[in-house]
């Protein structure tokens, strides 16, 4: 399989940033009825690495796949001193449009977004209603941050009491950078982010990228998956979900951070929607149930 990497200039507010990308397959040799898939990673602020399993869709279904690092993370431009007002959903939607235009595919493409990437993809589809978007996959994603907070709070309440006490103590004291809090976070992550005993290298690499520069995550999200103090706290696209007219696949898992309460607005408000739930996964079914995940997504993109 041919792979190509590079960087794209991205002009924003008078400054040129660079978006790193990796293309799997050939955009010119895609089969009839098959279009490029752009994969939007989560975080915000992690890297593309953990989305790499989507590249297998080229071998299995003939789908060319473009992965990229959103600015502020991975191999793309970083801006550690940016004011918090810089990091907006509009910024990342503009970056996505710039990438589509660079590859000349804005007239015919599909999107898959995971977690924050699903928020971005759904927001893009609903707010900008791009004419070239043909299929949308929204994986392990809330329709509003308030629903995400409800979902994760209910899961934290199921943790051992001593773990809950540590979380509450450090969040109250503002000491969420302590090893004790990080260990308590890991208990949650092993139950509701990835349940595999050994985390895949690609997933670890994405988290390592965020730890190397947590600017975007801390600014937009907060100190953890279940404590939202950032600029996304009031994010909500439920009212505009009916604007999404393309065929949409929504995905979550039984042990997911994104419990059903997060997904219901997508299912209830998008006209052409299919919901698939993974029984043996948490937040990353692409690793926890990889064969079924790739078949579900690949079949949806090529037959729906």
- For residues 239 and 81, give the distance between their C-alpha atoms in angstroms, rounded to a whole number: 34
Threshold 0.85, pTM exceeds = yes
Position 224 scores a pLDDT of 86
Strand duo 247-253 + 133-139: pairing: parallel
Buried b (16+ CB within 10 A) or exposed e, 215-230: bbbbbbbbbbbbbbeb
Confidence of residue 177 (pLDDT cuts 50, 70, 90): confident
- For residues 191 and 280, give the distance between their C-alpha atoms in angstroms, rounded to a whole number: 11
Task: Tell me how far the alpha carbon of residue 251 is from its chain's centroid.
Answer: 12
Q: Which of 56, 61, 256, 282 is catalytic?
A: 256
Report which of 166, 105, 171, 118 is spatially closest to residue 145, judged by C-alpha positions: 118
Confidence of residue 40 (pLDDT cuts 50, 70, 90): very high
Confidence of residue 24 (pLDDT cuts 50, 70, 90): very high
Q: Is 106 a catalytic residue?
A: no
pLDDT digits (tens, 9 = 90+) for 47-83: 999 999 999 999 999 999 999 999 999 999 999 999 9
Q: Could you tell me how many residues make up the chain?
A: 304
Q: Is 296 a residue whose pLDDT tops 70?
A: yes
Q: Is 283 a catalytic residue?
A: yes
Could you tell me if 181 and 162 are in contact, meaning their C-beta atoms sit under 8 angstroms apart? no
Four-point Cα dihedral 139, 141, 143, 146, nearest 10: 170
Please tell me whether the peptide bond between 107 and the residue prior to it is cis, using omega within 30 degrees of 0.
no
- CB-based contacts of 284, cutoff 8 Å, min separation 6: 50, 114, 140, 193, 194, 203
Confidence of residue 30 (pLDDT cuts 50, 70, 90): low
Position 29 scores a pLDDT of 65
Q: Is 54 a catalytic residue?
A: no
Q: Is 171 a residue whose pLDDT tops 90?
A: no
Q: Which of 49, 76, 115, 151 is catalytic?
A: 115
């Amino acid at each position: 399989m041919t792979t190509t990497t590079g960087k794209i200039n991205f002009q924003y507010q008078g400054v040129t940033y660079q978006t790193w990308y990796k293309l799997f397959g050939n955009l010119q040799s895609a089969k009839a009825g098959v279009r490029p898939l752009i994969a939007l990673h989560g975080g915000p602020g992690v890297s593309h690495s953990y989305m790499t399993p989507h590249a297998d869709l080229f071998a299995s279904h003939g789908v060319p796949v473009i992965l990229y690092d959103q600015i502020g993370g991975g191999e793309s431009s970083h801006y550690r001193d940016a004011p918090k007002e810089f990091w907006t959903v509009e910024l990342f939607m503009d970056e996505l449009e710039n990438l589509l235009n660079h590859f000349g595919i804005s007239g015919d493409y599909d999107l898959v977004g995971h977690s924050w990437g699903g928020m971005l993809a759904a927001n893009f589809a609903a707010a900008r209603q791009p004419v070239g978007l043909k299929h949308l996959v929204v994986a392990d994603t809330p329709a509003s941050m308030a629903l995400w907070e409800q979902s994760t709070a209910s899961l934290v309440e199921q943790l051992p009491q001593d773990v809950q006490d540590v979380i509450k103590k450090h969040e109250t004291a503002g000491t969420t950078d302590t090893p004790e809090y990080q260990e308590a976070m890991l208990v949650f992550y092993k139950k509701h982010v990835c349940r595999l005993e050994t985390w895949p290298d690609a997933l670890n690499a994405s988290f390592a990228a965020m730890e190397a520069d947590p600017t975007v995550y801390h600014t937009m999200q907060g100190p953890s998956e279940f404590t939202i103090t950032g600029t996304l706290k009031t994010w909500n696209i439920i009212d505009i979900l009916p604007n999404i007219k393309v065929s949409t696949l929504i995905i979550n898992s039984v042990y997911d951070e994104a419990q059903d309460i997060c997904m219901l607005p997508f299912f209830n408000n998008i006209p052409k929607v299919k919901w698939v739930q993974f029984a043996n996964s948490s937040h990353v079914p692409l690793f926890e149930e990889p064969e079924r995940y790739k078949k579900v997504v690949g079949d949806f993109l090529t037959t729906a």
